[in-house]
Amino acid sequence: MKLERSTPAVVGFLLAGLLSVWAQHSLIPFTEPYWGLFQNFLDLDVYRAGAQVVLDGGDLYQAKLLGQMDFTYAPLSVVLFAPFAWMAAGPAHLVWTIAIFVALYLVVVLGFKSLGHEVTWRLRAIAVSIVLLSALLEPVRSTIWFGQINVFLMLLVIADLARPEGSRLRGVGAGIAAGIKLTPLMFGAYLLAIRQWRTAARMAAGFAASVVLGFALMPSASKDFWFGTMFDSDRVSSPQTYGNQSIRGAIANFTHTDHPSTLLWLVLSAALVLLAGRACVLAHRHGQELLALSIVGMTSCAVSPVAWSHHWVWLVPLLVVAIHQIAERIPGPGAFALAALALGGFASAIAWRTHFAFPMWYANRSVEEAYLTGLFFKHPPPFDWFTTQPLTLILVVTSVVTIVAYRRPGPGRPAPAAGRS
């Protein structure tokens, strides 16, 4: 079924999108003080406060923002945040939220386009519906609720690397994304693995240019970051936090310690990189570039010292891949199995609500009650091994399924030429 030509598909997706809005409100009412979807913006306010420190001539990485928060991004990010520091809080929150939804829409459209779909009005309507559906995913809901940046970095990487090989300046955008936040550096390793030497070189150039520009604009802050604070993962948070959806976070949470074994973390991370790396290379060889990019993005989250759930927005292009595969496959056991896996992964990543009806300290403030979202806040025995770390498990399952599906050469597909871009 060609989604871009199917009116029934448009109707079905629009109904699903509207249903997801109702489900979102049922999860936590939009008007619920602090906990409603558009009632927080803590991280955006930290970005704005950090930019204001720089504008006032202060020390970016020594300042305690909003009372106790640290600035954790590279200095160049301040250039992006400064316009929001000049705005009042209300307009800044509104503009940022609109930009998040626009970025999600562009990710979905670019994803479908990279998979060979024609961008028709039907596909655009389906893309809007998928954006509404994706807001039910914990990584996306948290991105909107906190006012996070990760969806913009994801858009920059996909707009850059989902283009055909040989495209002009391909790789520079991913390098700039890595210069704002380090985790996109994983895409450089991916480009080397698939032997796209020129694209990897352009990514390195984009990254280097972002670092140089940061030193030119903020020499003192750049020195502090690149030679000091970037190595201090504890500035982000304690690793023993259920929201920390990284391998290191899993070790900390399962062993109940704030000092997880570094050796175990490195060994497990290396094993996951090998597994996911194999899946990425196979996906690339079979022309499934969006799938490969989604796996790389999720892997960068899993191996980070701290990866909050909102870092895992790479589930959105993965959702696009799943919808494409289900729509394109001829009905049969394989298609039904794929649909079941996709639904299982979606259900695992939904922003399941956990309500605590008592006061607690949460995210820089005291609250009278808490509405925490994410499967990782639920620990029903004997399934806590799964609920504690669902996002990494989605990555593992995706990698294994990709390897099984593409372990043989594609029929009639020539081997990719090395070093073309």
Report helix, strand and coil shares of the chain as percent, to nearest 5: 65, 5, 30
Confidence of residue 361 (pLDDT cuts 50, 70, 90): confident
Over residues 362-392, the pLDDT tens digits come to 887 889 999 999 999 998 888 888 888 999 9
Query: Which residues fall within 8 angstroms of residue 401, CB to CB, at 6 or more apart?
Result: 341
Instruction: Give the torsion through C-alpha atoms of 188, 249, 236, 156, to 10 deg.
Output: 30
- pTM score of the predicted model: 0.93
Tell me which DSSP letter residue 414 carries: P
Instruction: Give the torsion through C-alpha atoms of 360, 366, 371, 375, to 10 deg.
Output: -60
Over residues 301-357, the pLDDT tens digits come to 999 999 999 999 999 999 999 999 998 876 666 677 888 889 999 999 999 999 999
Over residues 19-63, the pLDDT tens digits come to 999 999 999 999 999 999 999 999 999 999 999 999 999 999 989
Nearest alpha-carbon partner for 373 in 349, 396, 405, 399 = 349
